[in-house]
């Protein structure tokens, strides 16, 4: 190979893009004049060619890294766009559900009030009918309602009508006795009425201490006792 002018001596080559310069310089591998030149020149050219090869590989790697970075940035932008869209959907759904949530909360409040109704049946006498199952959650609701009522408006007597109480277990018995104990601490006397035989047998089997409570067969009898 013979060049009109060696690229190392051609100052105009300094204006070439790096890739074009490297392509021209790597062609010097077949340069007969360089191969026939002094040893020092050949060694210097060899080092330059090696450096040129290394630089080209580095540039290629950097370009690939740039492409990877661009792809990562694009993926990040798409991910952020999806997050923003999800946030908009969530906010819109929340706004749409707010009226329904308010209705459900109001209905739940109504159900709680109906599950622990307190009736004023006489002067200083309140009654609460307990219908269905008395689990731990409902027992806590009954206790809270009765204590709030007695604290706000003191009563001498509290009648617990158990006619509609379906069944009782260990948890129910403990919760029930806690209700009665809390009422006595506030100065109210507790009267139980309408206790079914099956429920009474279960309370006896569980060893519930009902000695501090007054037991009457019917609500009428309980009302007569509290006059």
Range of the domain at 147: 116-226
Q: Is 198 part of any domain?
A: yes
Q: Is 93 part of any domain?
A: no
**How far are the Cα atoms of 28, 135, 203, 205 from residue 170, in angstroms, in the given order?**
98, 10, 9, 10
Q: Is 222 part of any domain?
A: yes
Q: Which pLDDT score, from 0 to 100, does residue 11 have?
A: 57
Q: Residues 8-27: pLDDT tens digits?
A: 555 555 555 655 655 665 55
Q: Which pLDDT score, from 0 to 100, does residue 169 have?
A: 72
Q: Which pLDDT score, from 0 to 100, does residue 173 have?
A: 73
Write the CB contacts of 209 (distance below 8 Å, at least 6 apart in sequence). Answer: 177
Q: Residues 94-136: pLDDT tens digits?
A: 888 888 777 777 666 656 655 668 888 888 899 988 887 777 7
CATH code for position 180: 3.30.750.24
Q: Is 30 part of any domain?
A: no
Residue 216 has pLDDT above 80, yes or no: yes
Q: Is 211 part of any domain?
A: yes
C-alpha to C-alpha distance for 155 and 175, rounded to whole angstroms:
21
Q: Residues 132-157: pLDDT tens digits?
A: 777 777 777 888 888 888 888 888 89
Q: Residues 55-85: pLDDT tens digits?
A: 778 878 888 898 989 889 998 999 999 999 9
Q: Is 169 part of any domain?
A: yes
Q: Is 23 part of any domain?
A: no
Q: Is 24 part of any domain?
A: no
Give the number of domains in the chain.
Answer: 1
């Amino acid at each position: 190979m013979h060049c009109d002018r060696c690229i190392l001596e051609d100052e105009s080559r300094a204006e070439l893009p790096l890739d074009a310069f490297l392509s021209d310089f790597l062609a010097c591998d077949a340069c007969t004049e360089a191969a026939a030149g002094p040893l020092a020149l050949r060694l210097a050219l060899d080092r330059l060619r090696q450096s040129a090869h290394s630089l080209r590989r580095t540039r290629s790697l950097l370009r690939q890294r740039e492409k990877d970075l661009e792809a990562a940035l694009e993926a990040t932008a798409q991910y952020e766009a999806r997050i923003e869209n999800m946030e908009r959907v969530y906010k819109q759904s929340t706004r749409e559900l707010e009226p329904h949530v308010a209705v459900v909360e109001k209905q739940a409040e109504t159900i709680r009030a109906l599950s622990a109704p307190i009736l004023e049946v006489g002067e200083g006498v309140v009654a609460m009918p307990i219908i269905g199952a008395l689990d731990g959650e409902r027992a806590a609701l009954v206790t809270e309602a009765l204590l709030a009522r007695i604290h706000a408006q003191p009563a001498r007597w509290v009648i617990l009508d158990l006619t509609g109480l379906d069944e009782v277990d260990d948890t129910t018995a403990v919760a029930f006795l806690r209700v009665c104990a809390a009422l006595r601490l506030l100065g109210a006397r507790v009267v139980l009425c309408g206790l079914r035989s099956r429920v009474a047998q279960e309370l006896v089997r569980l060893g519930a201490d009902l000695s501090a409570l007054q037991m009457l067969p019917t609500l009428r009898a309980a009302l007569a006792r509290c006059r």
